[in-house]
Structure 1
Amino acid sequence: MFFSRTRSITPTEAVERQRTGGLVLVDVREAAELRQGRIEGARNIPLGQLGAQLGELDSSKSVAFVCQSGMRSARATKAAAKAGLDAVNVSGGVTAWSRAGLPLTR
C-alpha cells in the first residue's frame, strides 16, 4: 500500500520563510489552546473549519500548518496539498517551536 509523505519544515525554517514573506503560517489549534501562546503573524483556522476555509488561503505562497505537536497540522497539510496548495507541516508543532526558543505571544 502506498502512503504519501507529508512535507515538513522545522520551526526555525518556518520563521525564516515567514519573515521573507514567502510563507503563510496557519495554526490549526482550537481557541482554548491559543491562550497558552500563539505564533505572531499566524492565522488561526481550527482543523474542524479548515475544509471550509482552504479557498481563502493565498495560493501564490507556501502554507505551513502548525498545531500543538504536529499531528493535526500533518492532517491539515495533506488536505491542503490535495486541494492544490503548496503545503508543509511544522514538525513538532508549538511544542518544538517553544523548545527552539522561538517567540510566542499570549
Structure 2
Amino acid sequence: MFHASVPTVDAASVPAEGALLDVREQDEWEAGHVDGALHIPMGQLMARIEELPEQKLYVLCRVGGRSAQVVQYLVAQGRDAVNVDGGMYAWEAAGRPMTSADGNPFVL
C-alpha cells in the first residue's frame, strides 16, 4: 500500500522504552491509547514538531495509514521514525497494554 521506503516495525517489536507518537484524533485517543505515548494529531504535527523528542519515534494511528504518511514526512525532515504496522489494532492483537482517557484498561 505504501512506498517501500517507509520504515516499518510490527507492534510486538516496539521496545517498551520506545518513544511512541500517536497521530490519531482526540476522540480516538480518548477511547484508548498507549500510556506514555505522545499525542499529536496528524493535522497538528507541523505546528507542534518541536514537541517531538530527539530519538527514534514509533508512530501509531488506528491501522497504519496516517502514521505511514507522518513517518514519510519525518524521515524527509531527517528524523528517525518508523511506522507501527497495523496501528492500534495490531498493538491490541499483540497483547500490548492500552488505557482509556479515564484510566481504565481498553480493548478495541
TM > 0.5 fold call: yes
* Cα offset, 1:13, TM superposition: 1.5
Alignment of 1:90-105 (within 5 A): 90-105=84-99
How high is the TM-score relative to the length of structure 1?
0.85
How high is the TM-score relative to the length of structure 2?
0.84
Q: Separation in 1 of the partners of 2:4 and 2:49?
A: 20
Task: Give the aligned residue type for 1:6.
Answer: V
1:89 aligned residue (68, 83, 86) = 83
Q: Separation in 2 of the partners of 1:34 and 1:56?
A: 18
Q: Percent identity?
A: 37
Figure out how many residues of one structure are paired with residues of the other and give that number. Answer: 98
Task: Give the aligned residue type for 1:25.
Answer: L
Residue in 2 aligned with 1:11?
11
* Cα offset, 1:4, TM superposition: 5.5
CA contact (8 A) 1:54 1:80 kept: no
Q: Secondary structure at the match of 2:58?
A: strand
| RMSD of equivalent CA atoms | 1.3
Residue in 1 aligned with 2:56?
62
Q: Separation in 2 of the partners of 1:83 and 1:53?
A: 14
CA contact (8 A) 1:8 1:89 kept: yes
Q: Separation in 1 of the partners of 2:96 and 2:27?
A: 21
Higher helix share: 1
2:22 aligned residue (18, 21, 27) = 27
Q: Secondary structure at the match of 1:5?
A: coil
Q: Which runs of 5+ in 2 are unaligned?
A: 101-108
Moved over 6 A (4+): none
